[in-house]
A and B are shown apart, each in its own frame.
Chain A
């Protein structure tokens, strides 16, 4: 009875939702550079289109989150290592950057602000080497648990080492007190945005380049079949630790960007909650592709900022969205979207439209009913003292009455049942469209 099982097979979970690429091999350099030029153009043009202060702040947050999510995906998506403590490197990068900024400002060293993320990256790399040596001995569940243990260790330790981490208040810095180049003070948010955007583009390009190197391919191989990699003469642990350190380095850069953006670093940066957010963002976006974490970072930042204005229980929706993605779309949002790529190219995607439109109604009904139920329950349980009158999308009603509950319940249940009835049609349409696409391509 002491040892109950010895089952730990590795699944092909990263393959879920991935289709064989039908992109022609050997793209020209120009064609490869095009998406990056486009991304650069979007980053440059974005503040010209969205000019409001809120939008600028949000886009800065998105840039930081994109770097953080991409670095996380180097671990989870590329190398198959599920970490619950990635914020450790993000937070340490932020703390070292803040201290470096104070040092530079105090000693009047000739170092400009745009170089500060290098400090964060080096801090992330150093701690990546230290903790990676312990945790990358094993993959899978044990790695996940050790990463959690290290995260707890560092975040609890940050409360003890008061002089470095500054306790609850954290450590502040002033980004304008640095050496000025080209008369950039980095006081206005727009200048900080462009600094973050530039670093975001550089880091994304570097991380993409890593996926193209032999190391990047070996990471994928270690994820799929570590034993076979060992037979080929490579050491899986060496590959894991390299990926781990690089990933920690980019997380440190993201932390440094956050420190520059907020001019503060506190213990919440290294907390388990922050590690959870990057895991949610990366997975919601999709871990099977390079673009997935970018999509996830943008969507999650958008949700965090806009949903928290709309409803107080936004984190519940956030968690439910995550569970829905894990259960029904392991490829994430990007995976779902890219599934349609081959069909669009083959010109058979339009056959899906009737089925999708048919499913849309019940889906929206289910969604609306569920949201109404959650919001009414929240009002009755937590906010009952403020009165039970409430309004959703402009409709005012009293949550204490039975009628709204019956309506919302009927919408949720009816929508759910109708969706179940319609799903086989969607499935059939999908098969028909993809079969037609195969015929056309064959």
Chain B
């Protein structure tokens, strides 16, 4: 039992930090432009595929640096030549634009790398068990992922709150006209933030690619969860996104390790009254592990009923 708790906590925190790495970029972009970038998970996927492709020629470490730079560059170009033009039509077309972009990126990735998973592997240097708990080896690569996520989180926080660039960005988010008056190029700041945000997603992609499966549907699998994170946390709230990321990471990891259903609980109490067949029978025998994938969405609906602003958000969006 303790073994299960420790391993699940470790994995849950790891998954949560990866979610946060992406959610932070998404939240930054949302705060800046007021639009949720539907294609954010697509940039994560691009990060994984570019990381795979670059590391094939140069090794993992150069890929880790180069892929986010390339993807961030693509993100900046998308902002400059795409989003900025749509911006004048309002927010719904912006959302639609990023929706179309996600669609196109998925098609392009399928076209270039095919529909099957690619052979993106953990670098040999990190391919060893870091430590052993209760006879289970915990891979060093997962520890490395955790460290990278924490380092980037801290770096982002320091850059935003303690540096001059961060000051200008924060000011441009809330008072763009004032910042422009002071002589800063606000559109350029927006382009930069969009590039950095998509670059952050790409970092998550490069490091998650070898641990999870790198294939053309990975954006579709993760995208909706990412929105759950930002909405549950509270739109535009970075700390909210952090809390929600960890919450969803932990809840989902614990759920998949619980092989318990209503029927099995009642049986262990000595009651054997399962309805046979039908929808009720399905509900009776479904295990918590099976409903793991829908728990985030249940959480989303429940949070929005109870607290429409999200956990830490303080504005109605």
Contact = CB atoms under 8 A, between A and B. Distances in A.
Contact of A145 (B89, B97, B227, B236): B227
B31 to A, nearest CB: 3
B297 interface: yes
B301 A134 contact: yes
A145 B233 CA distance: 13
Contacts of B33: 7
B36 interface: yes
Interface stretch (B64-72, B201-209, B308-316): B308-316
A5 B174 contact: yes
B170 interface: yes
A24 to B, nearest CB: 31
A272 B220 contact: yes
B95 interface: yes
Main secondary structure of the interface of A (DSSP, over half): helix
Contacts of A276: 99, 103
B114 interface: yes
A319 B293 contact: no
A134 B314 contact: no
A150 B107 contact: no
B101 interface: yes
B278 A163 contact: yes
B189 interface: no
Interface stretch (B10-18, B142-150, B281-289): B281-289
A10 B89 CA distance: 10
B210 interface: no
A162 B280 CA distance: 11
A153 B237 contact: no
Main secondary structure of the interface of B (DSSP, over half): helix
Given A134-B301, A381-B111, A1 B86 contact: no
A1 B317 contact: no
A330 B93 contact: yes
Contact of B277 (A8, A146, A163, A272): A163
A442 interface: no
Contacts of B34: 5, 7-9, 141
Interface residues on A, range: 35 or more
B291 interface: yes
Contacts of B297: 149-150, 152-153, 156
Contacts of A279: 96, 99
Contact of A13 (B90, B101, B234): B90
A38 B313 CA distance: 53
Interface string B62-91: 000000000000000000001001101111
A322 interface: yes
B96 A82 contact: yes
A323 B230 CA distance: 25
B9 interface: no
A323 B97 CA distance: 6
Contact of B237 (A3, A144, A149, A316): A3
B31 A4 contact: yes
B32 A144 contact: no
A414 interface: no
A7 B35 CA distance: 9
A310 interface: no
A150 B111 contact: no
B238 A2 contact: yes
A382 interface: yes
A162 B308 contact: no
Interface string A373-387: 000011001100000
Given A12-B90, A153-B297, A283-B96, A141 B36 contact: yes
A80 B96 CA distance: 13
Contacts of B91: 8-11, 13, 140-141
A325 to B, nearest CB: 9
Nearest to B107: A316
A209 interface: no
A3 B104 contact: no
B283 A327 contact: no
B8 to A, nearest CB: 21
Contacts of A152: 224, 294, 297
Interface in B199-219: none
B51 interface: no
A320 interface: yes
A179 B95 CA distance: 47
A135 B299 CA distance: 14
B170 A4 contact: yes
Contacts of A360: none
A149 B300 contact: yes
Contacts of A9: 34, 90-91
A140 B237 CA distance: 18
A138 B317 contact: yes
Contact of A142 (B90, B99, B170, B317): B317
Contact of B298 (A145, A148, A153): A153
A315 B107 contact: yes
Contacts of A202: none
A183 interface: no
A229 B234 CA distance: 27
B96 A326 contact: yes
B293 A323 contact: no
B157 interface: yes
B187 interface: no
Among the interface residues B111, B238, B290, B312, which one has the most CB atoms of the partner chain A within 10 A? B111
Interface in A372-408: 377-378, 381-382
A249 to B, nearest CB: 22
A82 B92 contact: yes
Contact of B93 (A145, A150, A326): A326
A316 B89 contact: no
Interface in A1-45: 1-13, 16
28 contacts: A1-B157, A1-B160, A1-B170, A1-B239, A2-B312, A3-B237, A4-B27, A6-B236, A11-B91, A12-B90, A13-B89, A13-B92, A16-B89, A138-B317, A141-B34, A145-B230, A145-B231, A148-B224, A148-B227, A149-B301, A150-B301, A156-B293, A160-B286, A161-B283, A323-B97, A327-B86, A330-B89, A381-B112
Given A10-B90, A82-B95, A283-B96, 16 more contacts: A1-B160, A4-B170, A4-B238, A5-B30, A11-B88, A13-B93, A138-B317, A140-B92, A145-B231, A145-B300, A153-B294, A164-B279, A280-B103, A315-B103, A326-B100, A377-B111
Interface of B: 27-28, 30-36, 82, 85-86, 88-93, 95-97, 99-101, 103-104, 107-108, 111-112, 114, 157, 160-161, 170, 173-174, 220, 224, 227-228, 230-231, 234-240, 277-279, 281-283, 286, 290-291, 293-294, 297-298, 300-301, 304-305, 308, 312-317
Interface pairs A-B: 3 shortest CB-CB: A11-B90, A4-B31, A13-B90
